[in-house]
Amino acid sequence: MAKRSNASYHDEGHVREYETKAGTRWSYIIRVPKDPDRPELGTKYAESGGHLSEGAAYDAKAKALRERDRGLRVGSKTPTLQEFGEQWLNSLALSESTVGGYRRQLTRHVFPRIGDKPIDQIKTTTLNELYKIMETEPPLNVAETGRWSKADPLGANSISKIATTLGALFDAAVDDHHILDNPGKGRRVKKPPKSKIVEQAPTMVVWNQQQMTAFLVWLRDTRQDSDYTLWKMYAATGARRSEILALRWSDIDFKNRRVHIRRTLNVDKPGHTKKPKNGKSRDFAVSESTIAALREWRKTLMALRGLNLAHGSAWVFPMVGDWERHRNPQSTSQMFQRRVEWAQKDLGVEALPTIHLHEVRHSVATILISEGTDPKTVSERLGHESVRITLDIYTHVTKKSDDAAAALLDFG
């Protein structure tokens, strides 16, 4: 670049011309804060060149001044979406599993498509086009094997979750003065509507009270399953898979028939636990038969390994043969699935539909709500953040309640 001509500087900056091999070009120089969040650090020069005319340089300078006055970082390199996204992910003070979920969303579905764009060039239209592509085209970088090797286009619920993540990412970009407005929020954003999410949602298969009873009786009396108490605890509590596996004997109040959920397994760190999903401990009552089953299970463990397996800090459901370890969540689900298949051979598929371990939790909630249990009680028992979450998940039950209410109000 050739030497620029001298020009005096004033508060609004100035424009000057310079010569290059390609001809005359124009640049502008303005003063901008070193850090918009810390004005006490003073200002610095920001320069932009390569403009083809004096007028273009003045227009660019005016735009830069407006952005400076509105708090943007002018004169600094604007990061790409992927650069800022990685920085944002590393800054999150959330659980490893939550951050890991966000990272998978972005690295699998977003960064390969628009990650190289400067973050200030991503508009609402850019995101709307992205969401449309996600719905019709498979992801660009797919793992060859494993859980994430599926290469189908995304459903409405997955796209909606990614849109929520991007909304939070762009909120952080606004806070960091890289952009003025969040392109991921507002009335022009075309995320999948809730009606489409509901339409695409798989039908929830649950057991009723008679089916749950039939299965547990079959486990106890016909199968004589050594792990009967484990499956009974899922049915008696509605707790999450890793919450039950993280129970210690000190969490069981035998006298008052209460179970305390104080932790859950950390699937990202085998052998470690963390706070329950919503960060709150909870406790609830269980039946006399559940307490009796727990007493018998504790006696069985003591007979196998003595008091070491019955003290307060010991796992309620340790790994068989490796008693100091908790059970693996995935293998526990597989064990449950095998038992359902075995029970179906005796009881029939029509009498006992196929469900997975997580659907025991759904079955518990459905049974409770269907039998008139207050939704707030159900929500607290399940560990949901709010009653609204419970009602949104179990709309199939509330719809039946609404139909029943209509029948009650038929006075004709």
289 and 364 belong to one structural domain: yes
The closest alpha carbon to 317, from 385, 251, 365, belongs to 251
Q: pLDDT band at residue 408, thresholds of 50, 70 and 90? A: low
Q: Rounded to whole angstroms, what are the CA distances from 228 to 129, 163, 222, 371?
A: 51, 42, 11, 25
Residue 240 lies in a domain: yes
Q: 322 has which bridge partners?
A: 319
pLDDT score at 302? 87
> Across residues 181-207, what is the average pLDDT?
87
The pLDDT > 70 percentage for the chain reads 90
Supply the CATH number for residue 298's domain: 1.10.443.10
> Please, is 310 exposed, middle or buried when counting C-beta atoms within 10 Å of its C-beta (0-12, 13-18, 19+)?
middle
Give the whole-angstrom CA distance, residue 326 versus residue 248: 10
* Of residues 170 and 187, more confidently modeled: 170
Asked whether residue 57 carries a pLDDT value surpassing 60, the answer given is: yes
Q: Give the rounded distance of the alpha carbon of 159 from its chain centre.
A: 13
* Of residues 341 and 139, more confidently modeled: 341
Please give the tally of structural domains in the chain: 3
Q: 45 has which bridge partners?
A: 31
Say if pTM beats, i.e. exceeds, 0.85: no
87 and 184 belong to one structural domain: yes
190 and 305 belong to one structural domain: no
Supply the CATH number for residue 137's domain: 1.10.150.130
Which residue, 200, 217, 238, sits at the end of a domain?
200
pLDDT tens-digit series, residues 348-401: 999 999 999 999 999 999 999 888 888 899 999 999 988 888 887 776 665 655
Asked whether residue 323 carries a pLDDT value surpassing 50, the answer given is: yes
Residue 159 lies in a domain: yes
**Residue that is written with structure tokens 């406790």 in the block:** 283
Give the tokens for residue 26.
């124009």
pLDDT tens-digit series, residues 209-260: 999 999 999 999 999 999 999 999 999 999 999 999 999 999 999 999 999 9
> Across residues 121-141, what is the average pLDDT?
92
pLDDT score at 144? 60
Task: Name every residue whose Cβ is closer than 8 Å to that of residue 265 and which is 6 or more positions away in sequence.
Answer: 242, 245, 246, 272, 273, 274, 326, 329
Residue 156 lies in a domain: yes
Residue span of the structural domain in which 370 resides: 209-406
On average, the pLDDT of the chain sits at: 87
185 and 226 belong to one structural domain: no
How many CB atoms neighbour CB 108 within 10 A?
17
270 and 175 belong to one structural domain: no
386 and 330 belong to one structural domain: yes
335 and 223 belong to one structural domain: yes
Q: pLDDT band at residue 182, thresholds of 50, 70 and 90? A: very high
- CA dihedral for 211, 217, 223, 229, sign (positive or negative): positive
* Of residues 29 and 309, more confidently modeled: 29
331 and 381 belong to one structural domain: yes
Q: Rounded to whole angstroms, what are the CA distances from 360 to 231, 334, 340?
A: 9, 14, 11
